[in-house]
Amino acid sequence: MPWSASVSAGLSARDAGPDGSWQSLALSRSVGRGYLRASVMRYHGTLVQADTALPSDYFIGTLGAGGNFDNWVTDGWVSIGRQRYGRISQTGTDQPASRESTGATSSPYFAVGADVGHVITLSPGWYATPTLAVSYAHGQLLRPAPENSGLPDLETDEPTWTGGANLRLDRAFGPEGRNFIGLLAARQWSSNGVSALLLPVVDDSAILPELKSRHYPDSWYEAGASASLSLLPRLDLDLYATRSFGMKAGDVTSAGLSLRTRF
């Protein structure tokens, strides 16, 4: 059965911040010891800047490939999509007024990444997998104009490099070892953990001021647990939960599930 399809969903909750959610559909094809995959995802999240809530919906398509080659596992992917800005509202009031953006209503999104790891058999049914990962993403942030300024809402470019070192410990069990439970410990780094708006660059010849942001790097730890359970001969359930520690923008708790069928 070389084909598999999955439907997934998840939630993320930031300490003292807004929650996020995502849903995705994926189709995979096994090719020897490797695979090819295509997926589409919707992510909804809200960014809070200076008591202003900026919700966004991301619609992203991804193509990926990878495999397991003599216990070396590797994955690579590229994503292209669009971020659509929601209604802007003031926080901290019982009934905040909201409005549409007076500038751009959406912006392009692009990302590319890869990881490589090595599966180490500790004993029958026990596996450790150290992994290194790197990715690059480029999007934009909408910056609401000050009230009564007469200016439209403007955007800033937000290029971001991310790197990580992960260690997984998995236990296989059940018929043919098709069920797994695992623990994860990770160290993550980002070139853009916090984005701060700089003073506008005023050019008398320009129609609008140019906005730029300063990107502050961040590093943090993550811990998590996961499970992959065979429900039926062709149906699997995947579960995961993670928690970050030490993020400048507030730690995040995430959880998700996926149903996979093979055909």
Architecture of domain 3-262: Beta Barrel (2.40)
User: pLDDT at residue 103 above 50?
Assistant: yes
Find the range with the poorest average confidence among 18-27, 101-110, 125-134. 101-110
User: pLDDT at residue 94 above 60?
Assistant: no
pLDDT band, residue 113 (cuts 50/70/90): very high
Of 59, 55, 53, 47, the residue nearest 83 (C-alpha): 59
- d(CA 101, CA 236) in angstroms, rounded, equals 43
User: pLDDT at residue 134 above 90?
Assistant: yes
User: pLDDT at residue 95 above 50?
Assistant: no
Average of pLDDT values for 183-202? 87
pLDDT at position 258 is 98
Tallying the residues shown for the chain, one arrives at 263
- d(CA 53, CA 58) in angstroms, rounded, equals 16
Of 17, 56, 59, the residue nearest 40 (C-alpha): 59
Domain locations in the chain?
3-262
pLDDT band, residue 104 (cuts 50/70/90): confident
* Helix (H), strand (E) at residue 253: strand 252-262
Average of pLDDT values for 51-74? 93
pLDDT at position 207 is 65
pTM of the entire structure?
0.89
Of 239, 132, 227, 223, the residue nearest 182 (C-alpha): 227
